[in-house]
Amino acid sequence: MSEYGKGAMKTPNLQTFSKKSRAVWFAVGIILLLLAGAALLLWKVSLNMFRENPRFTLTEVRINGNRNGFWTNKKDQICTMLRLRPGLSNLFSLDPAAMRAKLLREPSIANATVTRILPDTLEIGIVERIPIALINSPRSHYVTDASCVLMQKGRCMDISYSLPIIIGLRNERNFVPGMKAGAIKGAVELIELTRTKWPEIRVASVSVATPDTLICAVYYKNRIGTDEIYRVVMPDTGIEISLKRLLQVLEHILETRNRARHINLFYKGQAVLTMPAES
């Protein structure tokens, strides 16, 4: 058979392949249309069963939080913040993840959970930041927590009457609620350690105005059980080591009835004690 004859025999096979290919793609298109239709039907059924079902209308919002927290009794304020409309909002039209993210934008909220409880309840759990110090003055509008996050005093847990003061933080006009103030890290660590590990030392104030230095006013018991105030100067790093030395020095002052009230812990391995200046 000639070459020409062989080529002529192959032509019908190519045409058959092309027809089969079109048929396959047509079938695939039909299947895709059927799947899209099924998905649309399921979505519509889902709307009817959940998002458009009056049985799942939000009727109750529960707030679980700190016992004395700012947000514990602020259900109306939280509903406004999250655009919740009890009696109108559908439980399945709400996005718990988006609501949680919005709550976490509040500087005084450290963590939050949002949970649907069928058929009609939304439960919101709030963990608030706990203020540990006032910033710059007793009348300050700002407090900080143990993570150095600045909060508005009037928009967080109100325990400011019992808080020490961190002074010397500059540029107060530029403070923004929720910002982290790295300059007070040493002072915050000092306050936290005296609250948790050495509660017998009570911090009244800490100045961070001098670079690399903490200048503190602390209370410590005397022999008759009342507290006396001491001025303490220490580095703003290695706080735990400084506190251990400070406790030893304070005990030494009590045992020897030393009248020194100024303690400088900047000298390695020793403390310098001085008397207050005569007024």
Q: What is the pLDDT of residues 120-131, one digit of tens each?
A: 999 999 999 999
Angle in degrees, 0-180, between the axes of helices 96-103 and 75-82, rounded to the nearest 10: 120
**Higher pLDDT, residue 113 or 48:** 113
pLDDT of residue 53: 79
**pLDDT tens readout for residues 40-91:** 656 555 545 557 778 888 999 999 988 889 998 899 999 999 999 998 889 9
pLDDT of residue 278: 59
Q: Mean pLDDT for the chain?
A: 87
Q: Work out the pLDDT band at 147, boundaries 50, 70, 90.
A: very high
pLDDT of residue 200: 92
Domain spans in the chain, listed from the N-terminal domain onward: 3-52, 55-128, 133-274
Write down the architecture of domain 133-274 according to CATH. Answer: 3-Layer(aba) Sandwich (3.40)
pLDDT of residue 224: 60
pLDDT of residue 92: 87
Q: Work out the pLDDT band at 1, boundaries 50, 70, 90.
A: very low
Q: Which of 176, 195, 178, 175 is nearest to 187 (CA)?
A: 195
For residue 4, is pLDDT > 50?
Answer: no
For the whole model, what pTM was predicted?
0.77
Q: What gap in Å lies between CA 47 and CA 56, rounded to an integer?
A: 11
Least confident range from 17-26, 96-105, 206-215, 247-256: namely 17-26
Q: Which of 97, 107, 102 is nearest to 79 (CA)?
A: 102
Mean pLDDT calculated for residue range 215-228: 83
Q: What gap in Å lies between CA 194 and CA 246, rounded to an integer?
A: 11
pLDDT of residue 7: 47
Mean pLDDT calculated for residue range 217-225: 80
CATH of 55-128, one of 3.40.630.10, 3.10.20.310, 3.40.50.2300, 3.40.50.1110: 3.10.20.310
pLDDT of residue 223: 62
Q: What gap in Å lies between CA 253 and CA 261, rounded to an integer?
A: 9
For residue 20, is pLDDT > 80?
Answer: no
Q: Which of 4, 125, 108, 21 is nearest to 64 (CA)?
A: 125
55-128 and 133-274, same CATH topology = no
For residue 265, is pLDDT > 50?
Answer: yes
